[in-house]
Amino acid sequence: MKKARWMIGMSLSLVLVASFCIAADPAEVEKFVKARIEIGEMMMNYFQGGERFGEGQRPSPEQMRAMGEDISAKLGTLLSKYGMTVQEYRERSREVFADEVAVKEFLDAHPDLKQRYEALPLDRMGRGGSTGRGY
């Protein structure tokens, strides 16, 4: 009986220690939250007034390709301020934002950023659904 309790206690201790090790670094959370806010605002501004292509008309494949290249270039420039590439951001952002407690604590400590973060469209920013690219 004592041995079983000891093993359970050790297992729970390891899980607790591992969760602290996995938790995102506060500086990293700050960098990724600020980047996500700027990316979201940039994307909202980019697509604001979507009537560029006419009422109900989709852009041509050439226009879509040009838009993709333009957005990637803008993302690269924006993320370079944070010392990241687009690929690095995409690879790590899911992991950083999975630590919801750390993100919430950061946002609670910075009400101005929290207001901007909450103004982003949920379905396109990788929050609140599986649509969007997870910016």
4-18 per-position pLDDT tens digit:
555 565 555 554 444
Question: Does residue 75 sit in helix, strand or coil?
Answer: helix
Q: What digits encode the pLDDT tens for the residues 59-117?
A: 889 988 998 999 999 999 999 999 999 999 999 999 999 999 999 999 999 999 999 99
> Is this prediction's pTM over 0.75?
no
Length of the chain measured in residues: 135
Alpha carbons within 13 angstroms on the beta-carbon side of residue 111 total 0
CA 86 to chain centre: 12
Please state the φ and ψ torsions of residue 99, each to the nearest 5 degrees.
Answer: -85, 75
d(CA 53, CA 13): 58
CA–CA distances in Å: residue 126 to residues 94, 101, 106: 8, 16, 18
pLDDT score at 17: 45
Which residue do the tokens 């609140």 mark? 128
> How is the chain split into domains, by residue range?
25-47+58-124
